[in-house]
Amino acid sequence: MKKSIAIALMVLVLICITSCTNGKNKNETNTNFDEKIELILDTDVGADCDDMLALAYIAYAEKNMNVDLKAITCSSSADYGISAIKTFYKDLGMIPPSIGYASKSMPKYDNYCKQIVEKFGTENEYTKDNDAISVLRQALVESEKATICAIGPLSNISALLNSQPDEISALDGKTLLKEKCEKIVIMSGKFENQESLTPEWNTSLDIEASQNVVNNFPAPVYFVSYELGNSLFTGKAIMDKYQYDNPVSMAYMLYPGVIEAGGRPSWDPLSVYFAIGDSKEYLKLSQELTVTINDDGRSYINNEIKSNHYIIYFKDESIKDEISKYFDDCVIALYKSKG
């Protein structure tokens, strides 16, 4: 009897230690790998190939982590963008979430979507579906606390912020975001060499939208900078293994200069990596600060004013190869699990 009481006490102590440890971790970072992540992805698929790796990494996370992808919206107007996303899911035997098209006419950069649809889709599956604003508003209504990850220009997110009450929700966009969005992670901004900056690509495509989101978003804004993503190459192992045999590898093979360079910078995969809380061992945050986007698209940091903005950095530069290998390995594991 005494022995069983002692065992029961030990179990209780162990449960307490475990729950206390988890509690501590929850307070250490703003992302939490242990809790379900309700994710909304806004992507300019077609422009750069790292959007495809981001999609594949999310699909891997849906299968292997506590990630619930609520919606995908396109921030490019590429004719085959939505079809390429649907084809990517179809090829994997997975059901895509609801997908929204760009809220306004945007550039139609397409380095691989048409070829992916022609090779892996049975027909051109381009449809108008819903507009991004409706899809985003609906996804927020259906979420408890969503994380938005935007890896293209911020046109859709800005329009969401400005949206008015409608049949989906009686709340305007800003109030809806305040209630239903935990954070936004944006691939945006160049911050090094503040005197000689050029605008970051995503920012430059819709400067007004970037300013609106950065200035008015009612939840913490996390920046994956040009510099962070530019220093971490991925895709070589995927290309070596699959060449043109799956949509992700095909996107890398087709993107100009990627074969010769042995990969592509990882702006978008790193954004998702932070958004889903998979990164707390490897990424760290700046102090709370303010990012300002000038009218010419250049981005500046003000460390003195606190505006719920944070810039993401590597904890240690020496672990970049490890992260790169991890991204490639996740994609390879995803396609191996396809059977």
What residue ranges bind Ca ion (CB under 5 A)?
A: 44, 51, 151-152, 268
Please, what is the minimum distance in Å from the beta carbon of residue 45 to Ca ion?
A: 7
Q: Which two tokens stand for residue 253?
A: 């093979």
Please, what is the minimum distance in Å from the beta carbon of residue 205 to Ca ion?
A: 10
Q: Measured between alpha carbons, how far is 322 from 234 in angstroms, rounded to an integer? A: 11
Please, what is the minimum distance in Å from the beta carbon of residue 320 to Ca ion?
A: 20
Nearer to Ca ion, 226 or 310 (CB): 226
Nearer to Ca ion, 171 or 238 (CB): 238
Q: Which two tokens stand for residue 31?
A: 């992302």
Nearer to Ca ion, 32 or 75 (CB): 75
Nearer to Ca ion, 268 or 328 (CB): 268
Please, what is the minimum distance in Å from the beta carbon of residue 32 to Ca ion?
A: 25
The residues, any chain, with a CB within 8 Å of residue 98's CB and separated by 6 or more, are 71, 72, 129, 130, 135, 138, 139
Nearer to Ca ion, 51 or 328 (CB): 51
Please, what is the minimum distance in Å from the beta carbon of residue 74 to Ca ion?
A: 11
Please, what is the minimum distance in Å from the beta carbon of residue 100 to Ca ion?
A: 16
Nearer to Ca ion, 182 or 268 (CB): 268
Please, what is the minimum distance in Å from the beta carbon of residue 192 to Ca ion?
A: 20
Please, what is the minimum distance in Å from the beta carbon of residue 48 to Ca ion?
A: 5
Nearer to Ca ion, 38 or 51 (CB): 51
Q: Measured between alpha carbons, how far is 210 from 159 in angstroms, rounded to an integer? A: 11
Nearer to Ca ion, 51 or 206 (CB): 51
